[in-house]
Structure 1
Amino acid sequence: MSDARRTLTPRQLNFAIIALAMGGFGIGTTEFAIMGLLQEMVGDLDISIPEGGHVISAYAIGVVIGAPLLAALGARLPRKGMALGLMVLFTVGNLSSYFAADYGWLLFSRFMSGLPHGAYFGIAAVIAASLSAPTRRAHAVAMVMLGLSIANVIGVPFATWLGQMFGWRTMFLLVGVIGVVTIWMISRSVPHQQVLQNASIRRELGALQRGQVWMTLLIGTVGFGGFFAVYSYISPTMTEVTGLPEATLPFVVALYGLGMVTGNIIGGRLADISVMGTIYWVMGVIAAALVAFSFAVQWAPTALLFVFLVGAIGAMLIPSLQVRLLDVSPDAPSLASSLNHAALNIANALGAFLGGAVIAAGWGYTAPALVGAVLAVIGLAVALVSGRMDRGTRTPRPTEHSAVGQGLS
């Protein structure tokens, strides 16, 4: 057992994980709250709605680029120092967005804010897994990811209200404050972690040569794309198909977020029992749930029930994907883990694009759910192939002496 894991009390471990989750709360808030303040932003900057959409895209591009780049560049840094550095960059990016005087400055600031997103979640997951017992790794990772889910229930609605009441820029100021609090919490609660022996940029990039890393990322990109195909168009689906008034949409989004919180916790528990078994099961259930969703949205009670269920079932997949990446790339955990969030952002774009395409083709607002079900089936097929590949070269479940747990003081 590592020294840090042995000396941490359960209370200290919980505080360390809460500190890491606080960063996820801030990241989730800034990523999604801007969507609810889009009209206020474009009106203030005197730009078009599509140009405002580019501000959202700039953040996503930062996530995709920053995840592998910063994780590789930080290979020789202590994990705690890496987490702190990423949170400093995130905080500066959001405060820069608050002070942005023009459109170009805001675009750059949002891009900069997105850069540490994936790398932070990657290193936070590695730290949480390394501090926990081998049989509790997925639960610890899920608790870190819980910050992102809670942001959709509390952080995003509050930041949106704050921006509407006191100006859209105050959302960035709020996130900047959350970033400062996170930096303080991590510095106080997370134990020092030494650099892995032989750690290097080249070694981290070696993860990209492993077929199972790419297979896992493909599962997330394709399979989770189905979740985003529905989530991206949940508002018009509820108003145009279910017939709910627009005033109920905040409740609908919050219900989706509550589902994600629930699913994240359950998914962590299941992944501690069987990582691949959870992926197989969840992908199949996602496909079935999305087919049922396309019928259930015709009536308000069943529509609201399935909003919660789709959010919960989709979120169950995240902890197992995160732990799977740690398993298949034990000597380059930071890069492999951070790539999961780049894959999920690509899934966001894929799901939104395909869902929009079938709506534009005149198939209606229930069609994205059926597209999502097809994507989930494809994701399940990829997972089954990945599992079959494991039979020839069995990846051992990490023990207390695995690479994820090394280098702790």
Structure 2
Amino acid sequence: MTKQLFPLALGGLGIGTTEFVIMGLLPDVANDIGVSIPIAGHLISAYAFGVVIGAPILVALSAKFPPKNVLIAFMLLFTFFNFLSTIAPDYNTLMMTRFLSGLPHGAFFGVGTVVASKLAKEGKSAQAIASMFTGLTVANLAMVPFVTYIGHHYHWRYAFAIVSLIGLFTILFLYRNLPKQKVLRTVTLKEELEFFKTIKAWHILLIVSIGFGGLFAWFSYIAPLLINVSNFEEGSISYIMVIAGAGMVVGNILGGALADKRDPMKVCIFLLSCLVIALILVFLFSSSKIISIILVFVCGTLAISMGAPINMVMLNNAKHSAMLGAAFLQAAFNVSNSLGAFFGGLPLFFDLDYNYPSLVGAFMAIIGVILCLLFIKNYQEKDKSLN
């Protein structure tokens, strides 16, 4: 990773930490502010809703300004609203600060994706984008478990204070290390939105929303799966999650390397197909502790490896709408998170065991593979024939 890309990765570390740490601290938050755990769970949804709303709007409003200034502004908002979460006096206020914290999430990655691709050496764009997402993988590997420990043993508010501190360091390194670039928007907002009037744009977003939802069907219920089916002790789950985080680090590197050497859409097909197989294996063999540990690592690897390839697909097709397209992708990732958790939870309503969400995830990933194949047939093959 270059010095220029480091601030983007650091921003990803802060964003990944605040997005996922709340899941491990829900009981602490619920107890402290006097609500039930299901009600406290709405804080997760509030953040995701903020991402979906903020990503396209903030990018559209800021695209006429230099990207360095825009990224610093987004991180200022992120830092400020996370700080407000540390002092939120009640549930309603915390709900609002979580929503506001999510607003700059997708916008930061949307602008950062294009900036990273511009800073990359020729033929290394996907790996540069993967470098930016390194922060997310490190968050899941180390920072989320560490901050969860601090929040649980001292106070949950310290978790958001640590995130705010990461935000401050990100602002400093953005200012010092990120080079100045020209305004990224080369067309008017109206012209930029033209791409999103096409079926092709929504086809890409649908691949993410449904196909990538397969991994969230598994990940959303990983703790009860490991406890009730694999028979691990509850106290060991945090350590197993570190294994998933290690897989994500490997997957991030793998996805970037593959997308620079092969057609990114074909890379997505390959990785989604591997995910289908892995999730079916989870369904069949989760009763084995050894196989479960291996599959946690494998699924963690596949979970993040598709990030760089699908971003390259969007950049290659959106052209002048690349920055807005990358922001919409972040919104789609959060939609896939919600859809995966929802559909993955349906078997549980019928008292089926916790390995069934992974079977639902495999089905969603199969739909993703089909959508990718249709994309190649309807667009990429057609573009080749025109040339």
| TM-score interval for Structure 1 and Structure 2 normalised by the shorter chain | over 0.9
Q: Which residue is equivalent to 1:9? A: none
CA deviation string 1:180-200 (max 9, x = no partner):
000000111111111146443
Is contact 1:223-1:375 (8 Å) kept?
A: yes
2:4 counterpart of 1:16: yes
2:219 counterpart of 1:201: no
Q: Which residue is equivalent to 2:144? A: 156
2:270 counterpart of 1:281: yes
Identity of aligned residues (%): 38
Q: Which residue is equivalent to 1:223? A: 211
The CA deviation at 1:376 is 0.7
Q: Which residue is equivalent to 1:41? A: 29
The CA deviation at 1:394 is 4.5
Aligned-partner Cα distance in 2 for 1:328–1:361: 42
Is contact 2:67-2:184 (8 Å) kept?
A: no
Give the letter for the 1:391 counterpart.
E
Give the letter for the 1:83 counterpart.
L
2:346 counterpart of 1:357: yes
Q: Which residue is equivalent to 1:377? A: 366
Q: Which residue is equivalent to 1:140? A: 128
CA deviation string 1:11-42 (max 9, x = no partner):
xx701111110000000000111111111111
- Cα 1:197/1:159, change in 2 over 3 Å: closer
Q: Which residue is equivalent to 2:58? A: 70
Q: 2:303 aligns with which of 314, 321, 327?
A: 314
Q: 1:189 aligns with which of 168, 177, 186?
A: 177
The CA deviation at 1:363 is 2.4
Q: 2:282 aligns with which of 271, 279, 293?
A: 293
Q: Which moved more, 1:189-198 or 1:138-147?
A: 189-198
- Cα 1:348/1:113, change in 2 over 3 Å: same
Give the letter for the 2:63 counterpart.
A
Is contact 2:52-2:106 (8 Å) kept?
A: yes
Is contact 2:49-2:102 (8 Å) kept?
A: yes
Give the letter for the 2:383 counterpart.
T
- What is the 5 A alignment of 1:100-179? 100-179=88-167
Q: Which residue is equivalent to 2:71? A: 83
Equivalent position SS for 2:182: coil
Aligned-partner Cα distance in 2 for 1:203–1:41: 45
The CA deviation at 1:46 is 1.0
CA deviation string 1:119-164 (max 9, x = no partner):
1111111111001123100000011011111101111011111111
Query: Structure 1 unaligned runs (5+)?
Result: 1-12, 397-409
Aligned-partner Cα distance in 2 for 1:113–1:187: 21
Query: Structure 2 unaligned runs (5+)?
Result: none
Is contact 2:185-2:320 (8 Å) kept?
A: no
Q: 1:340 aligns with which of 329, 334, 341?
A: 329
Q: Which residue is equivalent to 2:87? A: 99
Is contact 1:76-1:201 (8 Å) kept?
A: no
Aligned-partner Cα distance in 1 for 2:184–2:290: 52
Give the letter for the 1:36 counterpart.
G
The CA deviation at 1:50 is 2.3
Aligned-partner Cα distance in 1 for 2:192–2:168: 29
- Cα 1:25/1:197, change in 2 over 3 Å: closer
Equivalent position SS for 2:340: helix
2:378 counterpart of 1:393: no
- Cα 1:197/1:50, change in 2 over 3 Å: closer
Aligned-partner Cα distance in 2 for 1:250–1:267: 25
Q: 1:324 aligns with which of 294, 308, 313?
A: 313
How many residue pairs match? The answer is: 384
- Cα 1:362/1:140, change in 2 over 3 Å: same
Is contact 1:294-1:369 (8 Å) kept?
A: yes
CA deviation string 1:193-215 (max 9, x = no partner):
11146443323322312322211
Aligned-partner Cα distance in 1 for 2:201–2:143: 32
CA deviation string 1:279-328 (max 9, x = no partner):
11111111111111112211100110001001102221111011111111
Aligned-partner Cα distance in 2 for 1:214–1:383: 12
Q: Which residue is equivalent to 1:5? A: none
TM-score normalised by structure 2 residue count: 0.96
Equivalent position SS for 1:264: helix
